[in-house]
Amino acid sequence: MAGRTPDDRAADVAEAVRAVDRAGFLPPDQRPHAHEDRALPLGHGSTGSQPSTVAAMLRLLAVPAGARVLDVGAGSGWTTALLARLVGPTGEVLGLELEPEIAAWGAGNLAAAGVPWARLEPADPRVLGRPRPGGWDRVLVSAAADELPAALVDQLAPGGVLVVPVGRTMRRVVRRPDGGTDVTTHGSYLFVPLR
């Protein structure tokens, strides 16, 4: 899994975005705007990221089929559903959302998407991410960290990839087999703060 590059699955990302209708992951009053390329309010101070930003992040993540993926800041469940489409039924996706009401709503949206290998749960406000034995193959973060979140880097499996906005700069972190990391930057974006 370590050898994949961001361009390896660009066509798969485009297909996933076409296949998973954003409208099913938006409040009713926002559904008419589902095909607009802009962030949309989800309620409780949360927003759903604009589709072009989500697609760019997913390309950077280069998710292989069968991967174990953590989706931090899962919101309405749309990114979790997209990740589920990319990993397929042999993979596993866990979406975490800090706002309990958004998490419950997102879990319902995800359940309706028909991807039982993915789930969305409330995040533990005392723990960033969710450590798992062997680590995660991929970690996606849809909120801006003040600095590179070491806790999430530590949750990566060897060869794993983390995509996270730090400040306004998108970072791609690859965890080497020796435990070190390679970090690259990929453009400027605006996200809500990571809490």
Strands of 74-154 (E only): list them.
92-97, 118-122, 136-141
Q: Which of 46, 49, 76, 142 is catalytic?
A: 49
pLDDT reading at 44 higher than 90? no
Which of the two residues, 87 and 193, has the higher pLDDT score? 87
For the whole model, what pTM was predicted? 0.93
Between strands 40-43 and 181-188, the pairing is unpaired
Output the pLDDT for position 17: 92
Question: What is the DSSP code (8-state) at residue 5?
Answer: -
List beta partners, residue 43.
46
Q: What angle do CA 94, 98, 99 make, to 5 degrees?
A: 120
What residue has token string 């969710």? 130
Overall average pLDDT of the 168-177 stretch = 95
Q: What is the pLDDT of residue 5?
A: 54
Identify the CA nearest to 50 among candidates 40, 59, 60, 41. 40
Percent of residues, the chain, with pLDDT higher than 90: 81
Q: Among 8-12, 77-81, 85-89, 129-133, which is the least confidently predicted range?
A: 8-12
Asked if residue 75 lies in contact with residue 106, where contact means CB atoms within 8 angstroms, the answer is yes
> Does residue 52 have an active-site annotation?
no
